[in-house]
Chains A and B, each alone.
Chain A
Amino acid sequence: MNKHTISFATGIILLLIFASILFCFQVRQSEVAVVTTFGKYSRTISEPGLQYKMPWPIQKVYKFDNRLQNFERKFEQTTTGDAKPLIIEVYIGWKIIDPRIFLERFNGDIMKAEQNLESLVRDAKNSVIGQHPFSDLISPREEELKFDDIETEITAAIRAEAKDSYGIEVAFAGIKQLGLPQSNTQKVFERMREDRQRLVKRYQGEGERQSMEIRARADAESKRILNEARAEAIEIEGDAEAQANEYYKVFQQNPELAELLLGLEALEAATKEKTTIVADPSTPPFNLLREGASAMQGSGLSDN
Chain B
Amino acid sequence: MERNTQKNGLVNMLGLLVACVVAAVIGKIANSATSAVGAVFLGTGFLVAAISYFQMRLENREHLEHLEFEEIAKDRNRSALFDESGDDTFLAKKAREQFERFFVPTFTTLLGIGQAVAAYYLWQWLPDAAEPDLTKAAIVMVTFSAFALVLFMLGKYSSGVARLDKLRLLRPGGAYLLLGSVICVVVVVSFAAGWFDFTRLDSHLARIMVVLLGLSTIETLVNLILELYRPRTGARAERALYESRLVGLLGQPTGLVSTAAQALDYQFGFKVSETWFYKFLEKALAWLILFQLGMLMLSTTFVIIDPNELGLLEHFGKPRSSGAVLEPGIHFKWPWPIDKVYRHPAKELLSFDVGYEVADKEGMGRTLLWTRTHYDTEINFLVASSEQAARSANSSEDQAVPVNLLTAAVPVQFVVKDFQAWYYNHTNPAELLKSIGHREVVRYLVNVDIIDIMSKGRLKAAAALKQNIQERSDKLGLGVEIVFVGLQDIHPPVGDKTTQVAGSFEEVIGAEQEMKAKILQAEGYEAGIVPTSRGEAAKIVSEAEGARFERTLTSEAKAKQFLDLVKAYQSAPDVFKQRKYFDVIANSLTNVRKYVIVPKEVNETFILNLEDKIAYDLLSARPEDR
Q: Give me the interface of A with B, judged by CB distance under 8 Å.
A: 3, 6-7, 9-10, 18, 21-22, 26-31, 47-50, 56, 63, 65, 67-70, 72, 83-85, 91, 93, 134-135, 137-142, 145, 147, 171-172, 174-180, 184-193, 195-197, 199-201, 203-204, 206-208, 210-215, 217-219, 221-223, 225-226, 228-230, 232-237, 239-241, 243-251, 253-254, 257-258, 260-261, 264, 267-268, 271-272, 275-281, 283-286, 289-290
Contacts and interface: CB of A to CB of B under 8 A. Distances in A.
Contact of A268 (B138, B443, B584): B584
B569 interface: yes
Given A10-B286, A240-B548, A221 B530 contact: yes
A229 B530 CA distance: 13
Contacts of A85: 401
A137 B446 contact: yes
A147 B316 contact: no
Interface in B468-496: 476, 492-493, 495-496
Contacts of B543: 233
Contact of B587 (A63, A239, A268): A268
Main secondary structure of the interface of B (DSSP, over half): helix
A129 B592 CA distance: 105
Contact of B525 (A56, A214, A236): A214
Contact of B547 (A18, A196, A237): A237
Given A26-B317, A271-B592, A278-B595, A240 B511 contact: no
B399 A84 contact: yes
A264 B584 contact: yes
What band does the interface of chain B fall in when counting residues whose beta carbon is under 8 Å from A? Answer: 35 or more
A285 B565 contact: no
Contacts of B328: none
B358 to A, nearest CB: 18
A164 B63 CA distance: 77
Nearest to A210: B519
B582 A285 contact: yes
Interface stretch (B79-87, B217-225, B236-244, B380-388): B380-388
Contacts of A208: 518
A226 B596 contact: no
Given A139-B446, A175-B443, A253 B566 contact: yes
20 contacts: A6-B287, A29-B317, A67-B425, A84-B399, A147-B446, A177-B442, A189-B501, A200-B510, A221-B529, A232-B544, A233-B541, A240-B551, A241-B551, A243-B548, A244-B551, A247-B558, A248-B559, A257-B565, A257-B569, A278-B594
Nearest to B540: A229
B626 interface: no
Contacts of A250: 559, 562-563
Contacts of B28: none
A228 B537 CA distance: 8
Contact of A174 (B141, B317, B436, B505): B436
B526 A218 contact: yes
Given A67-B426, A70-B427, A250-B563, A222 B529 contact: yes
Nearest to A245: B555
Contacts of B135: 63
A182 B318 CA distance: 51
Contacts of A219: 529
Interface in B307-321: 314, 316-319
Contacts of B431: 70
A207 B515 contact: yes
A20 to B, nearest CB: 8
Contacts of B423: 30
B499 A186 contact: yes
B266 interface: no
B432 interface: yes
A36 to B, nearest CB: 14
B275 interface: no
B117 to A, nearest CB: 35
B514 A204 contact: yes
